[in-house]
Structure 1
Amino acid sequence: MSPKNLNASNKTHKFLLNQLKDKQTSKIYKKFEENLKLNEDFIVAVSGGPDSLALCFLSKIYSIKKQLKVKYLHVDHKLRNNSTKEAKFVKLLLKKLSTNLEILNWVGKKPKSNTQSIARDKRYALMINKAKKLKINNILLAHHKDDLMENFFIRILRGSGLNGMVSFDQRTNLQNINLIRPLLKFSKKNLEHITKKVFKNYVEDPSNKNEEFKRVKIRNFIKNLELEGLDNDKFSLTIKNLKFANESIKYFVEKNLKDNSTILKINKSVILNKNFFLQPEEVVFRSLTEVLQAVGKKYYPVRGKKIDNLIYRIKNDNSFMSTLGNCVIKKVKNSVLVSKER
């Protein structure tokens, strides 16, 4: 390391250590370190809001202590006129940690509806693509305890099943990249404390106050519920209990896949026997969803209503052939063959 870089590194270390003299900040970092438990290089997704900037600070200390490489990425969606200006501002903020922020640009036609959902998917796609180029398997996301609650109610409004309502886990996998949410045990207030103390400033997304977006409506709905006595601890206990039930179902899904399906190595097709469809309804639904996703090599599962219709046909028709989720599904007598569509 050159003397210039060494000097900059020493200044950064001193700055970070000074921040940890604050008791609340130090307490948050210790809890963060215990939750993360990561010994591989990682990427941090940075929006520029108070949550992601707090994650930048915490992850920077973590990377130094664990001697890990870390890359910071920001996606400029170009959905607002000043988005590029904001991206440059965030890049400037991170220089306080002697950290270089790489800006990924969303190039192409922008959606006129369902904007937030499409932008989220595009953001993940850009970051995952970058992660693969860098050969880094872990991306840290700044979702926190408040987001967990919002996600729960949004899934209820969508008519999600049990798995959907509790799927906001600390670690998930998308396209063989680990998406890690180390802040789920922290409230937004905890994170704002760190960002205000360390960075003094952050980007305020105007869409967070726009009630045209469902997430904002849900956020305001939760605030009203809090006035009526919504308890964070009781909500966490409810999620915990639902996850226990969900894990039980997952056990029987795995058992069904193991006992009642056969993988043909020649063309990687799967044969499902009669007993596969004699299990409880939820077990059959999830099992078939996993088979279609694996065989069809789709990143996202097929929509639930289409799975329901397929199961109905399998149970009621003697023979048929259909396509779904990049798969060809063929029933002959009591067996179902699922193969990749060519």
Structure 2
Amino acid sequence: MTARAENLRSELRARLPETLPPRLGVAVSGGGDSVALMHLLHEIAQYEQVELLVATVDHGLRPEAPAEAARVAEQAAHLRIPHETLRWQGWDGAGNLQDQARQARYDLLTNWAHRHAVGAIVLGHTADDQAETFLMRLGRASGVTGLSGMPDTRDYDGVSLLRPMLGITREQLRQYLSECGVEWIEDPSNHDLRFDRIKAREALSGLDVLGITAKSLTRVAQNLAQAREALARYTQDSARKIAVVDSGDIYIERRGFEALPNEIQRRMVVGIIAWIAGQGYPPRQSSLDQALAAVQEGRTLTLAGCLLLPQGDKTWFCRELNAVAGESVMPEKPWDKRWVLAGPQTPDARVGALGEAGLPQVPDWRALSKPRKALLASPAVWQGENVLAAPLAGYSNGWVAEFTAETPEFYQSLLSH
């Protein structure tokens, strides 16, 4: 092993968890960054007796993609690492292609991880990616959270996503591959100036005369990440005082909320929405401004799959019925990715939203002193047109509703926003 390889391996390992899971996944596209990551992790996995698995996502958007995935499979086979190509076929030509492809990539990878009992997936983002992200978000006038860049670790659908190369540059990795005699694939889209990331890459290349480099911007992002963590702690402490969890919904005391600094108000609303509606991109600034105004003025508002409902001196945050109205699963299966309902063995039982048709079948729901619309989106057990149970609406009938194992405790979840 060369000195360069040893230094890179040491830096990468220092950013990984102290104890690695028995099975570790790595996402490899075939580009220089992820190919170098695969080789470096192979050395670490052998030494620490960790089983490594490789996945390549084929978005089905470029004719070269299947051949590139096959090339990664060959390289993985040479290292005796199991490989699987994950194909996306969900693009219908509508919406933002890059956002949908990114979301699909993470969904495919985490589903693959669950199938193979992989506890964590390592991603090949580098210091250059972090710096480009910083510049793009700077152009959008992002705040502390946006400018703190990509986190080293993130939980996605119960799988840890690890980025241990955020302190390593693209050039360092290519020099390592060249020394090892390993080839990689150059994606032609990396030179397509139609993409904002490529524009940021070009802009960054001309800023080094000012001392602004991938390394320096990565350090700035790290500094802001520390500020983000401090704000997250403040938000968590504030939520413990004014926010109450009630059967998967949350209500806040408006007077206490209004006394908080604006930044903490925003963070709390983002955290509540993410906990109720699921992780994803936070609402846009304009939508958040509307939400803050709705809370302060005691108005009803729909936002990102959530419903904000005023009730006296409180505002409730609950799931929006339209977001879950079409979801139906068997008992003991995750519903809305957060609830599991279990009870007596019942033929043809299904779990779905309580809804307008179900609520009248629930006795004494008014005794809960909870907004009616908050109960409509709660899970119920159906047999045909009949409601057998609605545990969150006070009608258990031998059934229980529990959070999935992947659903974090609310107050703890605020530290990840």
Settle same-fold status: TM greater than 0.5: yes
CA shift at 1:140, angstroms?
A: 0.2
CA shift at 1:186, angstroms?
A: 1.0
After superposition, the Cα gap between the structure-2 partners of 1:38 and 1:189, relative to the gap in structure 1 and judged at 3 Å, is: farther
In structure 2, which of residues 28, 37, 47 is the aligned counterpart of residue 55 of structure 1? 37
Q: Kindly indicate whether the alpha-carbon contact (under 8 Å) linking 2:127 and 2:218 is maintained by their aligned counterparts in 1.
A: no
Residues 231-240 or 143-152, more deviating: 231-240
After superposition, the Cα gap between the structure-2 partners of 1:89 and 1:237, relative to the gap in structure 1 and judged at 3 Å, is: closer
CA shift at 1:339, angstroms?
A: 1.9
Residue of structure 2 equivalent to 1:268: 248
Residue of structure 1 equivalent to 2:172: 190
In structure 2, which of residues 191, 199, 205 is the aligned counterpart of residue 209 of structure 1? 191
**Secondary structure at 2:77's aligned position in 1?**
helix
Q: Normalization by structure 1: what TM-score?
A: 0.87
Q: In 2, distance between residues paired with 1:81 and 1:336?
A: 51
Are 1:325 and 2:304 counterparts? yes
Residues 54-63 or 320-329, more deviating: 320-329
CA shift at 1:117, angstroms?
A: 3.1
Q: In 2, distance between residues paired with 1:156 and 1:95?
A: 41
Taking the TM superposition and a 5 Å limit, the aligned residue runs for 1:1-342 are: 20=1, 22-36=2-16, 37-40=18-21, 41-111=23-93, 114-231=96-213, 234-264=216-246, 267-273=247-253, 274-315=255-296, 317=297, 319-341=298-320, 342=377
Q: Kindly indicate whether the alpha-carbon contact (under 8 Å) linking 1:268 and 1:295 is maintained by their aligned counterparts in 2.
A: yes
CA shift at 1:113, angstroms?
A: 6.7
Residue identity in the other structure for 1:270: I
Residue identity in the other structure for 2:319: K
String of CA shifts for 1:21-71, please: whole Å, max 9, x gaps. Answer: x22112221222222234202110001011101100111111111111221
String of CA shifts for 1:115-140, please: whole Å, max 9, x gaps. Answer: 33322221111101111222222110
Q: Kindly indicate whether the alpha-carbon contact (under 8 Å) linking 2:154 and 2:161 is maintained by their aligned counterparts in 1.
A: yes
Choose between structure 1 and 2 for higher RCO, CA contacts under 8 A separated by at least 6 residues.
1
Residue identity in the other structure for 2:4: Q
Q: Kindly indicate whether the alpha-carbon contact (under 8 Å) linking 2:137 and 2:146 is maintained by their aligned counterparts in 1.
A: yes
Larger fraction in helix: 1
Return 5+ residue gaps in structure 1 as ranges: 1-19
CA shift at 1:114, angstroms?
A: 3.8
Q: Kindly indicate whether the alpha-carbon contact (under 8 Å) linking 2:250 and 2:316 is maintained by their aligned counterparts in 1.
A: yes
String of CA shifts for 1:258-294, please: whole Å, max 9, x gaps. Answer: 1111111xx3221201202320000001101111221
Residue of structure 2 equivalent to 1:3: none
Q: Kindly indicate whether the alpha-carbon contact (under 8 Å) linking 1:141 and 1:179 is maintained by their aligned counterparts in 2.
A: yes
Percent of paired sites with the same residue: 25
String of CA shifts for 1:199-242, please: whole Å, max 9, x gaps. Answer: 53111100001111111110000001114432555434433332
Q: In 2, distance between residues paired with 1:339 and 1:113?
A: 27
String of CA shifts for 1:6-31, please: whole Å, max 9, x gaps. Answer: xxxxxxxxxxxxxx1x2211222122
Q: In 1, distance between residues paired with 2:308 and 2:221?
A: 36
Q: Normalization by structure 2: what TM-score?
A: 0.72
Q: Kindly indicate whether the alpha-carbon contact (under 8 Å) linking 2:26 and 2:123 is maintained by their aligned counterparts in 1.
A: yes
Residues 191-200 or 203-212, more deviating: 191-200
**Secondary structure at 2:315's aligned position in 1?**
strand
CA shift at 1:156, angstroms?
A: 1.4
Q: Kindly indicate whether the alpha-carbon contact (under 8 Å) linking 1:144 and 1:186 is maintained by their aligned counterparts in 2.
A: yes
After superposition, the Cα gap between the structure-2 partners of 1:323 and 1:38, relative to the gap in structure 1 and judged at 3 Å, is: same
Count of equivalent residues: 318
After superposition, the Cα gap between the structure-2 partners of 1:233 and 1:44, relative to the gap in structure 1 and judged at 3 Å, is: closer
Q: In 2, distance between residues paired with 1:180 and 1:225?
A: 29
After superposition, the Cα gap between the structure-2 partners of 1:76 and 1:233, relative to the gap in structure 1 and judged at 3 Å, is: closer
Q: Kindly indicate whether the alpha-carbon contact (under 8 Å) linking 1:298 and 1:326 is maintained by their aligned counterparts in 2.
A: no
String of CA shifts for 1:127-160, please: whole Å, max 9, x gaps. Answer: 0111122222211000111111011011112332
CA shift at 1:254, angstroms?
A: 0.5
Return 5+ residue gaps in structure 2 as ranges: 321-376, 378-417
Q: In 2, distance between residues paired with 1:238 and 1:325?
A: 31
